[in-house]
Structure formats: C-alpha cells, structure tokens
Amino acid sequence: MRNKHNSPEVLELTQPGKDLARKISDRSARVGVIGLGYVGLPLVVEMAKAGFQVTGVDIERTKVDSINAGISFVPDVPSKTLFSLVTAEKIKATQSLAALESLDTISICVPTPLRKTKDPDLSYIIAAIEAVRNHLRPGQLLILESTTYPGTTEELVLPTLEKSGLKVGKDFFLAYSPERVDPGNRTYNTPNIPKVMGGVTPHCTKLATLLYQQFIERIVPVSSTRSAEMVKLLENTFRSVNIALANEMALLCHNLGINVWEVMDAAKTKPFGFMAFYPGPGLGGHCIPVDPYYLTWKARMNGFNPRLIELAGEINSQMPAFMISRIASALNEHEKSLKGSKILALGVAYKRETNDIRESPALEVLRGLHDKGALVYYSDPYVPSVVLNGKSAKSVNLSPEIIRSMDCVVILTDHSTFNSPMIATHSSLILDSRNMLRDFQGPNILRL
C-alpha cells in the first residue's frame, strides 16, 4: 500500500489494534471459532497447536460434548490430537454465546447452503454475526470464512456489527478469508493450504494476517473482502465449469462411439496448458453444486447474465437423467425393461472415500430408477443405510451370488474398497460412470 508520497504506508494501529497485535504475538489472545464442522474443528486444533487458548462455539450440543470429551467427529482430525489438546485445556467447546465476549478473535465457519429456490441462505451467517454483535467490544477481530457471494462482508456483516456503535478498523477489525478445506486430502490440510485474506481496512488485513500466520504457512493478502470472497467462488466455479465440459465430452463421445476416458487420460499427458477433469453421474457435495449459485445470484442482482456458469450447472444436473437413459438402453439391448429389473448401485456417497451423501447424484439416479419401476439395491461400505423414496434401504454386502442375481450393476462412486475383479467377473451387465473398471474389458462392461 503506498501513500501520496509514494513511500510504503506505515500502518499506525489504533490502541485496540496494538493491544491485539501484542496478544496475538505472545499467544495471550483468547481466540474462538463459531461453527465446529469439517472446517471449524481443524481450525480450532491448529490454533491450539500454535499455543492459543481456543474456544469453539456451536449450536449442536452433541458436537460440543464430543469435543470436550476429546472425541473427534471429523475424519481429518484424529481424536488422539483433540484429546491431548482438550486435556491440556487449550481447547474448550461451548454452546454459550456469552463466551464470545471474552474472546479477542472470532473466526466464523458456519454453513452457507442454498434455499429450495436456489438462492443463497445466509441465515447461519446472520445468526452468528448477530450473536457477535451482541457481545462486540473494542479490540476484537472477526474473520468470516464461510463461502459466500462478493459483498456479503461489507454489505451485510459490517453494517450489522457497526450497529453496536463501534467503528471498523478503529475499534474492531473485520476480514474475509475463504476456507479451502478439502476433506480427506492426505497432502493438503489447514496449515499448508495458502490462506487468502481480505480486510475491510488495511489495519483489518494486517491483524487478520498476523493471527493466521501463527499457524498457516502462507497468507495471501488481497485488497478487499470482495476480492477474497470472489477468489473462493472462482475456484469452485472453475471446477463446476470444467466438470461440465468433461460431462459434455462424455455425451459427445458416447454419440460418436469414442471412449471419453481414454481421450481424457491421453489429453492429460500434455505437460502444460491442460488439466484433467472426469465425467460422472453428476455433481455432489455441499460446495461445488452450491457455490456457483451464490455467484450467479449476485451477478443477476447486478444485472449481469452469467451464461457460461449457468449452462455448466444445467449440463451437470442433467447427468443423473443421462445415466438412467443409458441403463434403460443397456437393459433394452438384453430384451429387458427398466420396470421390474433388479439394479444394484455401487456407491451412493457423492465422491470416493467419503460417507457424505449431501447432494449426491447417486441418490438422484436411484430415485429415478425406483420411480420407473426398477427394483433398486445399493452397496456402499461408507454408507450403511439411506432413505430412498421414504423408505430406509440398507447397503448390501457384495458377493458373487448377489451380483449374479442382478440384471444390471451401476457404478456410481468408485470407492477403492470395491472388489473390481469380482464385480467385472460376475456381473451380466455393468454401466461404469467412474471408469472404476478401467483395467477390465468385456461385452458386459459399458462405460459413461
């Protein structure tokens, strides 16, 4: 940042900021996290490991009790680590919002889902920010991490907090820093994923950067909260659009009688200028199918028509229907109708090696098959049971007999624990939407 004399601007912090900077540096700052899920809990642990006294706040009693017992419910956080930090009294969880008053910094990691109408649901952020406002005092630093549209921090969060009469950048400090947690990623986790940081004022950016650099290797300051909010949406919209391209390539390759998986893997050998994405039964999870709608909603509110982003969403959301039509055609080739056929789905989680079924396209495929009269079964080692069309369905244990009894096996999630040789050998008809059986050939094996 340069002032009019073109010399580096020296950021003279106000007293509350100076006190906070000292407390962060000497670890006497009392830090807190609202929202103890797959983003918030790893953040709590890293802050505690850096030497801070950490308070976790969540509305769910079960989460609070589990954390205080040192039992982790987030696969990426080992209970052993959590237990030792709780025992050392570095971590304490509570449902009480009154705890916010004693905190010097508060990171907010609450969900940002969509409403049924596909527009943003900021109710969790609003509830958290109103709680913060009710306990706001001079010297506090607030960092919003939840994925949201550009403008949320300055148009919604800031006015709510300044209703307290305190002034941002002088009395309290506010920044936006997108979470980038990739659940199950063995290589990248909270400390080594670069953290983008955008403050409402330069002082806010400076203080938020000072806090996070105590436990994250690299902070990437940007000029505003809007930039920081947009970075996250670009990252996830990039994935959605490229997955849509992979899906459209799958539809086109099927039409042309070309193996899209072979094409994608061969294209991937290009050492520059290409990044492989793969087709699948559709987009799942609570991020990639959701985040682009936060961006398109904001764009439309500003009279901008985000054609490419919306078209990508349409292509991705058509994939479950395409899967059902492929299954119907494959059965038809065996003189069988969809109605009355026994169909076994392998995998219902939204992606491999997870038990998360949120927005899972596999469930949409199963529901569609059921609605057309098929007798639907599923097997997923990570998901013991699901509710399908109002009834509870249990995961079946795979065996050659079970597989041979099916008219069609559909691979929807390519968990590594599936026994591919057994599946390839004993299935009379397979539709593989994940190329899990890439090493097997045969007239019984069809691919997306």
Interface with ligand SAJ (CB under 6 A): 147, 180-183, 235-236, 239, 243, 246, 277-278, 280, 283-285, 287-288, 350-351
Please confirm, yes or no, whether 408 is among the known catalytic residues: no
If the CB atoms of residues 43 and 85 are measured against ligand SAJ, the closer one turns out to be: 43
Distance CA 352, CA 225 (A): 34
- Least distance from ligand SAJ to the Cβ atom of residue 32, Å: 21
Kindly name the residue from 109, 204, 253, 287 that is annotated as catalytic: 287
If the CB atoms of residues 20 and 319 are measured against ligand SAJ, the closer one turns out to be: 319
- Least distance from ligand SAJ to the Cβ atom of residue 61, Å: 25
Beta-carbon neighbour count of residue 88 at 10 Å? 9
Contact 319, 282 (CB under 8 A): yes
If the CB atoms of residues 24 and 243 are measured against ligand SAJ, the closer one turns out to be: 243
Distance CA 20, CA 17 (A): 5
If the CB atoms of residues 245 and 396 are measured against ligand SAJ, the closer one turns out to be: 245
- Least distance from ligand SAJ to the Cβ atom of residue 239, Å: 5
- Least distance from ligand SAJ to the Cβ atom of residue 316, Å: 8
- Least distance from ligand SAJ to the Cβ atom of residue 403, Å: 23
Hunting for tokens 């659940």 — which residue is that?
183
- Return left, alpha or beta for 252; rule: phi > 0 is left, psi -120 to 50 is alpha, else beta: alpha
Residue by residue, DSSP assigns 137-177 as -TT-EEEE-S---TTHIIIIIHHHHHTTS--BTTTBEEEE-
The DSSP call for residue 99 is G
Hunting for tokens 């237990």 — which residue is that?
83
Structure tokens at 305: 């028509």
Hunting for tokens 């028509």 — which residue is that?
305
If the CB atoms of residues 37 and 138 are measured against ligand SAJ, the closer one turns out to be: 37
Task: Please say whether the dihedral angle defined by the alpha carbons of residues 416, 331, 281 and 343, taken in this order, is positive or negative.
Answer: negative
Hunting for tokens 């670009």 — which residue is that?
234
Hunting for tokens 């469930």 — which residue is that?
363
Q: Catalytic residue positions?
A: 287
